[in-house]
Amino acid sequence: MRVVLDTNILARVACSPRGPAGEVFDRIAADQLLILSSELLSELARVLAYERLRRIHKLDDPEIEQFVQRVEAGSLVVALPDPLPRVVPDDPDDDPLVAAAVAGGADAICTRNRHLFHPDVLDYCRRHGIRVLSDLDLLTELRASQPNP
């Protein structure tokens, strides 16, 4: 299963590597089935540098860079189309995530972002063979289909 992990999921991996998001990441990245774009990797680095997240993950700048590199190493990095299709009506900043899923032939987007569960987004994704799942829903599927990593 090829998956795009939203930045909110990847930030959870940095903050709690042994939590559900960490297990999802380990299972997906182990088989290099994680799809991202350079834009999403840049967003991840920016988000991890927020002071409120630094207090949780306790990573300094070099450790943030190492984490982003680790994520990139376990990913297929795809180019996004220009211009990006407008898909997410409530938050156009989420359009690159959907575009990466389409460009990478993803089977799923894993997110906790409510904007990506909008009916228009779900319909668009469905037409491209992409499901939108929470980390817990995806983890349940992965555990059922894969033995322990």
Task: Locate the domains of the chain by residue range.
Answer: 3-143
pTM, whole model, 2 decimals? Answer: 0.93
CATH topology of domain 3-143: Rossmann fold (3.40.50)
- CA 27 – CA 65 distance, rounded (Å): 22
Residue 62 is encoded by which pair of tokens? Answer: 């070099």
Which amino acid is it at 38? S
* Residue 148 clears pLDDT 70, i.e. is over it: no
pLDDT tens per residue, range 52-108: 999 999 999 999 999 999 999 989 999 999 999 999 998 999 999 999 999 999 999
Average pLDDT of the residues of the chain: 94
- CA 102 – CA 78 distance, rounded (Å): 10
* Residue 32 clears pLDDT 80, i.e. is over it: no
pLDDT tens per residue, range 99-122: 999 999 999 999 999 999 999 999
- CA 148 – CA 135 distance, rounded (Å): 17
Instruction: For the chain, give percent helix, strand, coil, nearest 5.
Output: 60, 10, 30
Continuous segment of H or E residues that includes residue 12: helix 7-15
* Residue 30 clears pLDDT 70, i.e. is over it: yes
Continuous segment of H or E residues that includes residue 78: strand 75-78
Q: What is the pLDDT of residue 149?
A: 55
